Amino acid sequence: MSFQNLLLEQPEPGVYLLTLNRPQALNALNAATLDELTRAIAQVAGDAGARVLLVTGAGEKAFVAGADITEMQALSAEQAQAFSASGMRVMHALEALPVPVIALVNGYALGGGCELAMACDWIIASDRAVFGQPEVNLGIPPGFGGTQRLSRLVGRARALELVTTARQVKADEALAIGLVTRVVAAAELREAGLVVARSIAAKGPVAVRLAKQAVQHGQDLDLANACVYETSLFALAFATADQKEGMRAFVEKRVPRFCGE
């Protein structure tokens, strides 16, 4: 599958690297890019051998600097609703991927870029990264899930402060408030992502997918029902070849050879 605005590669077996590739526009999200993202995510979802997806931006300045304002400025209310819905579909599709998705934020992640990063399972940031939801500067609120995901990550009060002031947050503060999980030197960002991806890819693929499923769905349940849900997934794992191989390898003191079944 070929793309005009993206690069989708497999630098290592099971590891996908998706790069937003519009550096001349600071990787801004226009309608065509959102459509390509939908197709790229579907391609990863359809690969039974996929283990991890890394998401980053081309160039040194930006992960994604936001939605494409030149394309948005003339939208009617009806067209704006369709554009927001298209962005929302991309974010939901990222979250729905059965494998872990890690954002490697290499620069500005503003507006739609911050929303894209937050739709990933977690964020590793370059020390040059800057996050923000500056939409109120344009007379609009966030439209790709920013108000909802940001509040879930950093809390209601801090999210509302950031959204209503449009204040930008550098990497060190993003780490302190829980928006990102790790900050690394810019030159080390790609390798840091690959190190984590290799670690995940070496684990039992079914177990990793079930663990992601448990965390995602369980957080919307009360604790008692979430634990019941976890029990059902735990039991389901015992019907897999990976469970048999993983425990046999442990007893035999060797590295397991998981097949993803």
pTM above 0.75, yes or no: yes
Clarify whether residues 79 and 147 are in a common domain: yes
* Residue 261 confidence (pLDDT): 85
pLDDT of 257 above 80: yes
Tell me whether residue 260 is in a domain. no
* Residue 254 confidence (pLDDT): 92
* Model pLDDT for residues 145-158, shown as the tens digit of each residue: 999 999 999 999 99
Clarify whether residues 45 and 85 are in a common domain: yes
- Angle formed at CA 32 by CA 48 and CA 58, multiple of 5 degrees: 75
Clarify whether residues 229 and 162 are in a common domain: no
Clarify whether residues 174 and 240 are in a common domain: no
Q: What is the mean pLDDT of residues 231-256?
A: 94
Tell me whether residue 46 is in a domain. yes
Q: Which of 165, 186, 201 is the last residue of a domain?
A: 201
Clarify whether residues 128 and 67 are in a common domain: yes
* Residue 143 confidence (pLDDT): 96
Query: Would you place residue 49 in the very low, low, confident or very high pLDDT band (cuts 50, 70, 90)?
Result: very high
Clarify whether residues 195 and 174 are in a common domain: yes
Overall domain count for the chain: 2
Clarify whether residues 196 and 247 are in a common domain: no
pLDDT of 50 above 90: yes
Candidate from 69-83, 148-162, 166-180 with smallest mean pLDDT: 69-83
Clarify whether residues 73 and 108 are in a common domain: yes
Tell me whether residue 259 is in a domain. no
Active site residues: 115, 135
What CATH number should be reported for the domain holding residue 210?
Answer: 1.10.12.10
Tell me whether residue 257 is in a domain. no
Domain that holds residue 232: 205-252
What CATH number should be reported for the domain holding residue 70?
Answer: 3.90.226.10
* Residue 2 confidence (pLDDT): 85
| HEC secondary structure over the chain | CCCCCEEEEEEECCEEEEEECCHHHCCCECHHHHHHHHHHHHHHHCCCCCCEEEEEECCCCEEECCECHHHHCCCCHHHHHHHHHHHHHHHHHHHHCCCCEEEEECCEEECHHHHHHHHCCEEEEECCCEEECCHHHHCCCCCCCHHHHHHHHHCHHHHHHHHHHCCCEEHHHHHHCCCCCEEECHHHHHHHHHHHHHHHHCCCHHHHHHHHHHHHHHCCCCHHHHHHHHHHHHHHHCCCHHHHHHHHHHHHCCCCCCCCC
Whose tokens are 């930006």? That residue is 62
Tell me whether residue 10 is in a domain. yes
List the end-to-end C-alpha distance of the chain, in Å, as a whole number: 27
pLDDT of 259 above 90: no
Tell me whether residue 39 is in a domain. yes
Clarify whether residues 131 and 217 are in a common domain: no
Tell me whether residue 258 is in a domain. no
How much is the mean pLDDT over the chain?
Answer: 95
Clarify whether residues 217 and 188 are in a common domain: no
Q: Which of 159, 182, 201 is the last residue of a domain?
A: 201
pLDDT of 89 above 90: yes
* Residue 260 confidence (pLDDT): 84
Clarify whether residues 27 and 137 are in a common domain: yes
Clarify whether residues 213 and 164 are in a common domain: no
